[in-house]
Chains A and B, each alone.
Chain A
């Protein structure tokens, strides 16, 4: 609530600074997003990569790792999808071609995640350092491989074959006709549910979470900490590799330089805001998708970067709210007699931000 109100206030100030009536701008923002079926579709389209990168970041974070490399992982994966798409899509029917192309993207991105995970777990290189470095490597590798390797002239791949295209969501919900959302969105939601379930139930998933909570206790009790960390990075990278389903297969039909860029970093914010559970994560992705789409629809009046300001304000306020409602650091830092300390509220505090993020400012037009 505070986050929403604060963000709304800042938004009004920004818009007023540009000389427009905040009311009109908000109206435009709403009309461009949830106000119409097309706008809603666009929001879902924008939310698809954010949900996947948010999930990717979340998985690594549960294992105590900060996968800042999703940006490079999703780009390299998408490139592979764009590279294989034309031939595979032409040769095979969708039931075969889509899994093949997406699978190749996932594998590539997972391999990049594995590299960062291996360097952390076995060589002690911190994953933030290696992640940033690998992002830079991918940045320079992509144009080179597009031009030199694939002989592209416009920094894009050829159009992928029909078999590798994902249909738009309009095949199920005709109202979304014309918007860019594809079946990748419901797919991403299903993946989110499956991954959360896996983290809760499977041996590997549970041990990953334990490693994230206490690597020393896990190591002393025979949990293979290094292996779980590498696995978490593989899974995280692989999820980033799924992003191509929405962008390359479901929307553009080819890979071009910069497609999906930024989703990796925004995914960190999505994961932070939506960390209390799968539903919260989907809502957070929708919220950030809404902001991104709203930015486009108000672009005529106010630079769309105003929405980035709004994003930043939301993140700051949610982080601050989590700090206020979260575990009291002073009491948690002195583990004496457990019961005499007796505050077990630290873990539950994640539930608070969910309530705070749900009302997205642009939905609350007066």
Chain B
């Protein structure tokens, strides 16, 4: 079965590693050992130091003090290039791919095989890539431009790329944050194959079910330190709960349970036969209709890129509807064809509030203070004095560190999301649309945010939650709607099995095809490309 010998990975270690950024200590005296032939999960809250630990091992971050060992030898000089030459490769949370180049071109970018005279030898690259695919079982289409690949395929390409460069230890930073459930399983199948061939693998994740199902060893980090580190015992009952306690450092409140909705509650938000065209002319929304009662939470499930982004943007007034309309409490809103800024403000004044999925693109200005981010878009239209509003919104969630004057970009992802949600939840609400409200957010914060959503629904708001996290949707929603190719293709109770929901998401083709029918460019390309600057 082996064609080139096993991928015998090097053991990796951190010894008393500490990393400080100014006054913030990201990692404090961490000892960590990653062994070959294991998938090691690093879990913990946002800001617990998981990514920093991983980046130290891969040479991206230089420890303030302490040592990094690869294969028992200190990593010097501390650089990604040096780490790579020792067989340590990292797959970043945000893909480092060039969207218009083909898979093959991306694969060899930076280490291109050449013929005499320095000419690019793509044929050789292809032969090597295909051999590697056979060897590892990682299949990625090599010819289409990367922007046409699904998120899962792009990620496999990233893994293939570090393998192509000779990595035998692969460190993945939140690889599953952007994947659908089917893609997550596929990823771990792939990682399992590489592991079985002897590679050293580490995964940073927020999803404990993955740790329980797929990983061999785990380390729980809390505030830069190791809170728990052990081999995972197979099928230990209550492991997830034990991990949750270790991550939080204390008992956690039970998840939010939606309160009942009466059948005669009025419709808060209705979308009627809405069609929206994307810039490339394809239909982002295709005669989509749905109704959400006051007090009801409707979950929108679907493979990423099937109209989720368009639904949120159209409801916010940022994307005009080619046909159809949106009703708020039975009152028809305009099509959003005019000035988008006015449309957003009019809808917000009417009580329709939308939280977009891409925090850094649409919800926050990282280079300005938290206080200013709390009133972004509200200047000149606040009912109260601005300092009062800022103080109130800042107090809704427990934002850490508790300083409204620090830059938004200095907060951890979870705390950034608290700021975003606080701003939106503080507004007068008739309907709330929240896209990926807990993406990249730690368990504790996610529960707080979900509880806040449930609370607003209980107070009479019509709530739509668009999420890639099926567990979140099933735990939070009264009803699930499945979105595929811009249409609602199924309505399911929250008790439906993951398999039932998954089949509806993918159509009838079954779980072997995880290729998204249409790809959302914004969500799948690198942050730089989506930045628009």
Contacts and interface: CB of A to CB of B under 8 A. Distances in A.
Given A224-B342, A335-B366, A339-B415, A207 B379 contact: yes
A206 B372 contact: yes
Given A226-B341, A227-B341, A337 B47 contact: yes
A338 interface: yes
Given A203-B380, A334-B94, A336-B173, A216 B362 contact: yes
B22 A345 contact: yes
B26 A339 contact: yes
A338 B401 CA distance: 12
Contact of B345 (A215, A218, A222, A343): A222
Given A223-B341, A223-B377, A343 B46 contact: no
Contact of B363 (A210, A220, A335): A220
Given A216-B362, A335-B94, A339-B412, A224 B173 contact: no
A221 B318 contact: no
A219 to B, nearest CB: 6
Contacts of B342: 224
Nearest to A348: B407
Contact of B528 (A213, A333, A336): A333
A341 B50 CA distance: 11
Contacts of A341: 21, 51, 409
Nearest to A214: B365
Residue of A209, A226, A336, A345 with most partner-chain B CB within 10 A: A336
Contact of B532 (A203, A216, A221, A345): A216
A213 B365 contact: yes
A71 to B, nearest CB: 26
A49 B533 CA distance: 31
B360 A335 contact: yes
B411 A339 contact: yes
B18 to A, nearest CB: 13
A210 B318 contact: no
Contacts of A217: 360-365, 376
Contacts of A224: 339, 341-342
B336 to A, nearest CB: 12
A334 B92 contact: yes
B11 interface: no
A161 B119 CA distance: 73
B367 A346 contact: yes
A150 B379 CA distance: 47
A342 interface: yes
A335 to B, nearest CB: 6
Contacts of B407: 344, 347
Nearest to B423: A221
Contacts of A215: 532-533
A222 B379 CA distance: 10
A340 B26 contact: yes
A336 B94 contact: yes
A225 interface: yes
B276 interface: no
A219 B341 contact: yes
A-side binding surface: helix, strand, loop or mixed? helix
Nearest to B343: A222
B339 A343 contact: no
A347 B408 CA distance: 12
Contacts of B93: 334, 336
Given A206-B372, A216-B362, A216-B532, A344 B345 contact: no
A214 B150 CA distance: 28
B358 to A, nearest CB: 9
Interface residues of A, number: 35
Interface in B20-38: 21-22, 24, 26
A89 to B, nearest CB: 40
A203 B47 contact: no
A336 B92 CA distance: 9
Interface string A321-362: 000000000000111111111111111000000000000000
Contacts of A207: 379
Contact of B367 (A216, A338, A340, A347): A347
Contacts of B24: 339, 342
B23 to A, nearest CB: 10
Contacts of B415: 338-339
Interface in B329-343: 339-342
Contacts of B52: 340
A203 B372 CA distance: 11
B533 to A, nearest CB: 8
B493 interface: no
B413 interface: yes
Given A206-B372, A221-B377, A343-B21, A337 B94 contact: no
Contacts of A340: 26, 46-47, 49-52, 412
Interface in B419-443: 440
B344 A220 contact: yes
Given A220-B344, A221-B377, A224-B339, A344 B51 contact: no
A73 to B, nearest CB: 25
Contacts of B57: none
Given A217-B376, A333-B528, A342 B26 contact: yes
A215 B341 CA distance: 12
A338 B409 contact: yes
A344 B410 contact: yes
Interface in A223-277: 223-227
B409 A344 contact: yes
A335 B377 CA distance: 23
B411 A222 contact: no
A216 B26 contact: no
Contacts of B22: 342-345
Given A210-B368, A221-B376, A222-B344, A338 B49 contact: no
Given A339-B410, A340-B52, A220 B173 contact: no
A227 B379 CA distance: 14
A225 B339 CA distance: 10
A335 B409 contact: yes
B200 interface: no
B114 to A, nearest CB: 26
A210 B365 contact: yes
Contacts of A206: 372, 379
Interface in A270-294: none
A348 to B, nearest CB: 10
B361 A216 contact: yes
B316 interface: yes
Contacts of B364: 214, 217
A342 B26 CA distance: 8
Nearest to A347: B367
Interface string A142-175: 0000000000000000000000000000000000
Nearest to A346: B367
Contact of A337 (B46, B366, B531): B46
B416 A336 contact: no
B356 interface: yes
Interface string B63-75: 0000000000000
Nearest to A342: B21
B334 to A, nearest CB: 15
A218 B361 contact: no
Contacts of B376: 210, 217-218, 221, 223
B504 to A, nearest CB: 30
Contacts of A336: 51, 92-94, 173-174, 413
A173 B342 CA distance: 52
Interface of B: 21-22, 24, 26, 46-47, 49-52, 92-94, 173-174, 316, 318, 339-342, 344-345, 348, 356, 360-368, 372, 376-377, 379-380, 406-407, 409-413, 415-416, 440, 527-528, 531-533
26 contacts: A213-B365, A214-B364, A214-B365, A214-B366, A217-B364, A220-B344, A220-B361, A221-B376, A227-B341, A336-B173, A337-B46, A337-B50, A337-B51, A338-B46, A338-B47, A338-B413, A339-B410, A339-B412, A339-B415, A340-B46, A340-B51, A341-B21, A341-B51, A341-B409, A342-B21, A347-B407
